[in-house]
Structure 1
Amino acid sequence: MAAAPLARRSGATIASLTLASLAYAVMQMMVVPALPAIERDLGGGPGGVAWLISAFLLSTAIATPVLGRLGDMFGKERVLVAVLALFAAGGLLGALATSLPMLIAARAIQGFGGAIFPLAFAIARDVLPPRRLPLAIGLMSGTFGVGGGIGVVASGVIVDHASWHGIFWLGIAMPLVAIAGVRLFVPPSPARERVRIDWVGALLLAGGLVPLLLAVSRGQAWGWASPPVVGLFAGGALTLAAWVRWELGRREPLIDVRLLSNRAVWTVNAAALCIGFTLYATSYLVPQLVQRDPATAGVGFDASTTEAGLFLLPAMLAGLVFGPLAGLLSSRVGAKRPLLLGVAVMAAGQALLAFAHDEAWQVHAGTLLAYGIGLTFAMTATSSLIVGGVPRGQTGEATGMNTMVRTVGGAVGSQVVTALVISSGAVSSHGFTLAFAVCGALLLLAVPLCAAVPVARRR
């Protein structure tokens, strides 16, 4: 008789954690189709609004390992509630934003929500029966694609029929509902561990990444050889070098960079950097492309925000089909072949987008290859390869590093392609061709990295 209440309690726990994951997944993509509308209202140009993506990803990359360690110290479910509250606070600031800097700050606060997924996974491992764990992980992982699809479609409807501010009002409601679910149905995580937080490492990482992104975003306006841009590049590189040296000397580093001596780790992470770059670059480029007026920009379809979301929707829904297929293929032939296949298909999609984006079907086909099929195979394979390439005790550190590397790649990618799109001083077809071509070339460079990944032994 006790089995039924336990199953019901487990079901409520899984539903609450899935809702928390869905809140992040929806808001991560929801702002992307609205970027042109935000640019029209608040100004800043394409380079300015690109920081709405970069600020979100930067705070995710830096805050996630810190929040994960805080979860080990004070309880993962408590930290998950705090992260959801921060996520809602960022939504409130965004809903009330009257300037681009204010909105960028709101997105930076929402970026703390990147810790929702790893915290939810860790709670599931701690409190659920082993037989229920695969279901929980599958449902939470599935929210990334489903939530993204919901986000891009809902964004268009809200922006076209109300205002982009409505996106952020929804960004308040979803995490608040998730907080109620976590408080009511998620039991305390039994794991407690006293660890030290590497605050210096977090500051050095931020101090290295922000100048590099600022140099990329302002290079066109200030001049790539100008003293400010050269100084930002040099300062960022030196700070990142200092961060690596600092991390090597810590017993409990923010990110264990020693793992990069493992070929199974550094090859997959190098490929993940390229994948993250093109993932967020494509998320930025496609809405910008399709919403341009061809009469003035020489490119685009003069699409509404709703129509821009529908351009990305088929690719995101394809992930629901190809995700299980990628997992099945990885289990049968290993994850290396799906990774190679995924990166090659992504490169083909980027090539199509680079040289054929004058017709709507070309954009649909390119995003389906690059985003829906190729990305799904590549993302599924990288996770499997990282987990299989390190000892069990280092799984958390290795997956955390992989998440950070992919996120940093995305933050850099959104800024680089923005600079390429406006490389001639104005948005043009040539700029989009150049941006998509750079993404394709980067993926081709990732192919030998994928080929160098060692085949993990079956355990």
Structure 2
Amino acid sequence: MIDLIAAKPGPADRFDRRLLAPMMIGAVLNPVNSSIIAVALVPIATALGAPASQTAWLVSSLYLATSIGQPLVGRLVDMFGPRRLSIAGAILTGLAGVIGVFAPNIAILVVARVILGFGTCAGYPAAMYLIRSEATRTGMRSPAGVLTALSVTTQTIAVIGPTLGGLLIQVGGWRATFAVNIPLALASLVLSLLFLPRTTALDPSRTDADRPARSRLDYLGIALFAGTLVSLLLFLMDIRLAQLWLLALAAVLGAAFALWELRRPDPFIDVRVFAGNVPLLITYARGVLAATVSYCYLYGFTQWLEGGRGLSPAAAGLILLPTFGIGILVASVFGRRPEIRWKLLVGAAGQVVMAVLLLLVGPEAALWFLVLIAVVVGVPQGLVNLAIQNTLYHQADPARMGATSGLLRTFMYVGAMLASAATGAFFHTTADTAGLHDLAWFMLGASALFLVITLVDRSLRRVDRLATGAAEA
């Protein structure tokens, strides 16, 4: 019965709505685990007697696994289709949830987060692959409505994560933030089995026989890519002169990775495409900067609300709730508008304003002022990722949509790792107000750079023309 349902073709002239549920739940597994941990760090540290330097690995380990896994799984999605990868990801996610529930110490929790990082990798590249595949099948040039729904869903979960986490901790303790993955994974597994097609083709003329053989997977390229990211993360987690060798190692491995990929006929990441697609590289850079600011707010501000302002995890989560509401409203109202450049400009300006407001925060800051900051953040939250996602859709090679979209997530998680390292560096042992102000200056610099590269990026005008023309068609 499951095979019969999965094999039925969708409507010939419109997006197959049965794909939406497995797409959305698969895509939210990563953002919910990225954000829900924000309010659990302090309770975990208290329960297990761990310093902030150790609990920071609960954040970084997931981002490291995801940064490596997203383009890898995206490449596998391009090769074999989304169904098998989504099923495997759901199983790993459920396993990580079980390990987290019974973990006796920080080390085992880090293992659970690593498994969780790899398990939640499939959702976003699989969703982008399916959107492009359906666009090819139906002749729909720019599925703005589906892209908006994907962005709204992932952003909703990312922002509501701390609120959900606070409520779960209130009811079942911090282990509930891991246990929630078990029903989510089961739902993802069932929906993937029921509705995801066994085969999809971005090129209608391409058959299963044309897909790259399993033996042609670029194992050395994957290893060099992973080594580069691990070295970079270890340096960012402990920035000292004595650790500069890690940065040098990351540079050497990165150069070796680029040279190796240039020699491969079917590389893990096609460096030649990126070298000839400067606008796409700028989009990746924009993703790093936007994510750095966003995750500094998510983790830094949330920890300060608990440590510096003295709020409970549930109250801290509720303070962030307006970000969720405004983000959803903004994305829903403006998501279907094809123009992209103005969304990026307004989003970047919103991040600048947010950083300035954080500089004005004190240990006795009024709750209304904290809520105001959450409201301001909602504007870039609703616009930026939506605009970046739509920009990539028009800039990427359709045949590598899975890998390219997965790599976007890698760059955004590099930003998250930068945010995690900055939060650890500025807060030291406690999340105090002085550390929050130092973090705000860091955020101001990143958001200002985001604004500048968007202002000078002429390629966005071409993307606007493509998006507008596709919408009119």
Letter in 2 for 1:190: T
Q: CA 1:208–1:121 in structure 2 vs 1: closer, same or farther (change >3 Å)?
A: closer
In the TM superposition, residue 416 of structure 1 has moved relative to its aligned partner by: 1.9
The answer to whether the aligner puts 1:349 opposite 2:364 as a matched pair is no
Q: Secondary structure at the match of 2:264?
A: coil
C-alpha root-mean-square deviation of aligned residues, in Å? 2.7
Residue 164, structure 1, aligned to residue 169, structure 2: no
Q: Say if 1:349 and 1:365, in contact at 8 Å, map to a contact too.
A: no
Name the residue aligned to 1:281: 296
Match of 1:212 among 232, 236, 245: 232
Deviation for aligned residue 1:54: 1.4
Point out where structure 1 has 5 or more consecutive residues left out of the alignment: 293-298
Contact 2:74–2:406 under 8 Å retained in 1: no
Which moved further from structure 2: 259-268 or 345-354?
A: 259-268
Q: Secondary structure at the match of 1:32?
A: helix
If the length of structure 2 is used for normalisation, what is the TM-score?
Answer: 0.84
Q: How far apart are the structure 1 equivalents of 2:109 and 2:448?
A: 35
Q: Is the 8 A contact 2:168 2:177 kept in 1?
A: yes
Q: How does 1:104-183 map to 2 (within 5 A)?
A: 104-112=110-118, 113-126=120-133, 130=138, 136-183=146-193
Task: Report 1:225-244 matches (<5 A).
Answer: 225=241, 227=242, 229-244=243-258
Residues 50 and 88 of structure 1: CA distance in aligned 2, closer, same or farther (over 3 Å): same
Q: What is the deviation of 1:406?
A: 1.4
Structure 1-normalised TM-score? 0.87
Aligned ranges 1:76-87 → 2 under 5 Å? 76-87=82-93
SS at match of 2:198: coil
Contact 2:126 2:402 in 1 (8 A): no
CA contact (8 A) 1:343 1:375 kept: no
The equivalent of 2:319 in structure 1 is 311
State, as a whole percentage, how many aligned pairs show the same letter: 25
Q: 1:131 to 1:249 in 2, by over 3 A?
A: closer
* 1:80 CA displacement: 0.8
**Alpha-carbon separation, structure 1, partners of 2:400 and 2:305:** 43
Q: Aligned partners of 1:127, 1:336: CA distance in 2, in Å?
A: 26
**Structure 1 pair 309/109, CA: closer, same or farther in 2 (3 Å)?**
same
Which residue in 2 is equivalent to 1:14?
20
Runs (5+) with no aligned partner, structure 2: 1-7, 202-207, 467-473
User: How many Å separate the matches in 1 of 2:160 and 2:442?
Assistant: 29
Q: Contact between 1:421 and 1:431, CA under 8 Å: does it hold in 2?
A: yes
Alpha-carbon deviation of 1:124? Answer: 4.8
Does 1 or 2 have the higher relative contact order (CA < 8 Å, sep 6+)? Answer: 2
Say if 1:199 and 1:351 are closer, same or farther in 2 by CA, change over 3 A: farther
Contact 2:29–2:184 (CA under 8 A) maintained in structure 1: yes
Q: Distance in 1 between matches of 2:258 and 2:234?
A: 21
Aligned to 1:295: none
- Size of the aligned set, in residue pairs, is 437
Q: Secondary structure at the match of 1:448?
A: helix
Q: Distance in 1 between matches of 2:332 and 2:9?
A: 30
CA offset digits 1:361-390 (Å, max 9, x no partner): 3332223323x1123222222222233345
Distance 1:451 1:251, change over 3 A: farther
Q: Deviations over 1:303-335 (max 9, x none)?
A: 111111112111022111111344345x2xx31
